[in-house]
Amino acid sequence: MSAPRMPIESGVPDPFPYMHPVLKKNFGAWSYHDRPRPGVLRHVAKSGDQVWTVRAGTQRQMDVYTIRKLCDIADEFAEGHVRFTMRSNIEFMVSEESKVAPLIEKLTAEGFPVGGTGPSVTMISHTQGWLHCDIPGTDASGVVKALMDELHDEFIKEEMPNRVHITTSCCQINCGGQGDIAINIQHTKPPKINHDLVANACERPTVVARCPVAAIRPAMVNGKPTLEVDEKKCICCGACFPPCPPMQINDPEHSKLAIWVGGKHSNARSKPMFHKLVAAGIPNNPPRWPEASEIVKNILAVYKEDAKDWERMGDWVERIGWPQFFEKTGLPFTKYHIDNWRGGRVNLNASAHIRF
């Protein structure tokens, strides 16, 4: 009998062949860890072994020359092993303390800031942006680079009340996630439909089913089957654009940035929280997004000044209250801040049924 056909495992690779020998030897047997300085973690194993991890920031989207340079630094100044954190910081592991200072010196000299640990503003996590996704209304890695250039000082120091996780997202569907501060695209006008292309490019029932407020209907225009949008119902979410590119929603003028505050995934000290809208209608202004950057820096400065130690952004806002948040940051409070979609479960189209 022939051997059964086995599935091809294409998930996360086995990390052990790539792991630093001290990490491999002491896997699951660590005693404690501390942070001797910003950007450096020291892990002490029950066996008495120690390992120092040096964390550095990069420009985020890296070319092959930069990756080679980082690998050369790992070979020459570390012990040939690197790993990336989930926020895309690069980490070098060394088993002797004497190797830490030369490694930091080399990284700094080559333009890779060492930091991002503890109560700092660590690297911003972002969605794919212009480079990899087919629907973005702005770049995401570009916003990260522009903002981290401005926040460099907060990356290399640990002077925030608690860690600050910032996220950016390049469409309103937001494949990013919750952040202490999130910078997300916000469309402000319904999609513009190219009726000549809809029938050829879109599976119309899928597009109709996709709309969260049931604003899309089949239609005939110039004798061709197409779709139409009830603009009074449309909430400009952009969900119809990915399955139907002729329903273009990205617009240089009307696709704006919105800033959200107080989200977190972790359940340390307080429960996970959704971020809330605090600023909308901000120009989507590449390559450096100065207007969004000013608002983020202002929120960070007020949080740094006003929050107690260990309060995450959302904990701080819960303690002082949203009216105080708007007062202290000077951000205008408008009618757009009131609806927090608590009724969304019953109001929005949460079923997979197709309506005509």
What residues line the site for ligand SF4 (CB under 6 A)? 127-128, 133, 135-136, 140, 169-171, 173-176, 190-191, 210-213, 215-216, 229, 234-240, 249
Q: How far is CA 148 from CA 113, 116, 294, 297, in A?
A: 11, 11, 12, 11
Closest CB 313 distance from ligand SF4, rounded Å: 21
Of 5 and 353, which has the nearer Cβ to ligand SF4?
353
Q: Which residues contact 147 (CB under 8 A, 6 or more apart)?
A: 124, 166, 168, 183, 289, 292, 293, 296
Of 214 and 302, which has the nearer Cβ to ligand SF4?
214
Closest CB 290 distance from ligand SF4, rounded Å: 21
Of 100 and 227, which has the nearer Cβ to ligand SF4?
227
Closest CB 66 distance from ligand SF4, rounded Å: 22
Closest CB 175 distance from ligand SF4, rounded Å: 3
Closest alpha carbon to 126 in 172, 183, 80: 183
Q: What's the alpha-carbon Rg for the chain, to the nearest Å?
A: 24
Of 128 and 284, which has the nearer Cβ to ligand SF4?
128
Closest CB 172 distance from ligand SF4, rounded Å: 8
Closest CB 228 distance from ligand SF4, rounded Å: 10
Of 94 and 143, which has the nearer Cβ to ligand SF4?
143
Closest CB 263 distance from ligand SF4, rounded Å: 15
Of 240 and 307, which has the nearer Cβ to ligand SF4?
240
Of 140 and 257, which has the nearer Cβ to ligand SF4?
140
Closest CB 185 distance from ligand SF4, rounded Å: 7
Of 57 and 191, which has the nearer Cβ to ligand SF4?
191
